[in-house]
Amino acid sequence: MFKKLTRLLFGKTDKVDAEPARPAAPARSANTRDSQRRGNQQEDKPSHRKTRQKPARRNHASDPREDLRQLKLDIDVSKVTVVPREQHNISRKDISPSALKVLYRLNDAGFQSFLVGGGVRDLLLGGHPKDFDISTNATPEEVRDLFRNSRVIGRRFKIVHVRYGREIIEVTTFRAHHEIETEVDEGESRKHIKHLDSAHSSSGMILRDNVYGNIAEDAVRRDFTVNALYYTTNHFMILDFVNGLPDIDQRLIRMIGDPETRYREDPVRILRAIRLAAKLDFGIEKNTEKPITNLVGLLESISSARLFDETVKLFTNGQAERTFALLRQYKVADYLFRPTMACLQDDSDPESKLLTLALRNTDNRLAQGKSVTPAFLYAALLWPPLQAAIREEIGNKIPTLGTLQECAGDVIVEQLKYTAIPKRFTAMMREIWELQLRLSPRNRRSVEIAFTHPRFRAAYDFLLLREEAGEQLNGLGDWWTRFQQVDADTQNTMIDALVPGKAPRKRRRKPRKPESAD
């Protein structure tokens, strides 16, 4: 400023060192300036939007164990088989979006989480699992705090159900092997173990199992090798701790650990081995198979309610007919359906054939995407003892409704000693059986009562199975089939023909309204 003033007043010019010229800035387009301005604004203004960082793209030359070490699982990496993404067929598009939500939220919260069990197994086999289970190092209480749509269930082993609409994602915490802390004698009260983390019965059955560990310990605590495979969305790897992948290739069901000890810990594993073998068309490994017939009596210690749930799973896996054959082969059916097995002496009897056809019909309905009800299955399973009870009561005569109801009650009460059956299903079973008598058309009233009954369709299907099994019903199934296919006038004609010598009923015409004088 002083130099400028000097120049103006005196006209003198001082020599000053010239400032080196700066290189001219390159010309920027409007788009470049706008993007730069937006970038500056974003740097100044903090972003509150959460963004999940995508896993780094895999370098095919890298060792997958290095990726595993990054997960910090606190395990011996050398003792696990790691299958990288490019060597397996599991894709996230085949996994339930709800299961992926649970996996991502657990990972984002700092926990370890893996898809595990039947979901991984079925995906590897090219199937489409209905259920997805997740295993994590988060405790049940931590999972519940993370998901508002969840609840902790179970006493023997706590698990968390995360509900998305009608879909339930089951989340379990890594379990660990532990020594027996408390042993409960048979018949002893179990109230004192209510809040314990570990307890066994004197026979070896697990009563409480809430001791937590890491993923490697959890793998050996699972039942079968094909159910102990873990899939992670971090680098999309599969982890195998117990050689489950070779057993899938060989199509074998193999118990983890000593089979006899594991069956004693939970006798329901006998039913699971049979169910998996039937569902997957796998064989049962010889050491896993050997103790089954000797230990099947342990099923008597399982609650009847739990056995009902397991039997429903057995017959709704799409292979009900093969499952029942395996249950008979290993003598397991005697501890689930003893009244029925006592009546199945000859496979050529109509009652035995009806049961086989009902199981086959169940498989066909499931293959077509149709629903099945346990009531229909149990109606077929208990049909042989029901017929035996009726014959013992009145011989080969046609039973009255009262006789059938009395025998049905006795048969159901006997079955309840082995498996529980909810009342809504026993009521439906009774209706299906009673309609077998009502479906014998005698007059208009009997036809209308049967045809408008809410269980008519189930009873009609049961009637067709009876005919197909060889029962002589004088074409009753054909009559009802035709009755449903014809129009109302033909139905009236069919009903009128039931009473011999009665002329067909004339259709009444509505009287005409008299014309007015106008």
Residues classed as catalytic: 131, 133, 223
Largest CA distance in the chain: 145
Q: How many other C-beta atoms can be found within 10 angstroms of the C-beta atom of residue 213?
A: 17
CA angle 448, 424, 363 (to 5 degrees): 85
The first and second tokens of residue 95, run together, are: 């996994």
**Residue 212 DSSP class:** B
**Locate tokens 């173990």: which residue?**
193
Q: Which residues contact 274 (CB under 8 A, 6 or more apart)?
A: 284, 314, 323, 326, 327, 330, 332
Burial of 98 (0-12, 13-18, 19+ CB in 10 A): middle
The label of the residue with tokens 């290189």 reads 23
CB 462 within 8 A of CB 432: yes
What's the CA gap between 37 and 24, in Å, rounded? 20
Q: What single DSSP character describes residue 248?
A: H
Q: How far is CA 356 from CA 321, 467, 468, in A?
A: 7, 13, 11
At residue 263, φ and ψ (nearest 5 deg) are: -65, -35
Dihedral pair phi/psi, residue 380, rounded to 5°: -75, -40
At how many degrees (to 10) do helices 320-329 and 268-280 cross? Answer: 130
Residues in Cβ contact with 337 at an 8 Å cutoff, skipping those fewer than 6 apart:
381, 415, 418, 419
Beta strands, E only, 222-315: 229-231, 238-240, 252-253, 283-284
- In whole angstroms, give the CA distance from residue 95 to residue 114: 12
| Residue 201, beta-bridge partner list | 184
Are residues 181 and 196 in contact, defined by beta-carbon separation less than 8 angstroms?
yes
Strand ranges (DSSP E) for 55-100?
81-83
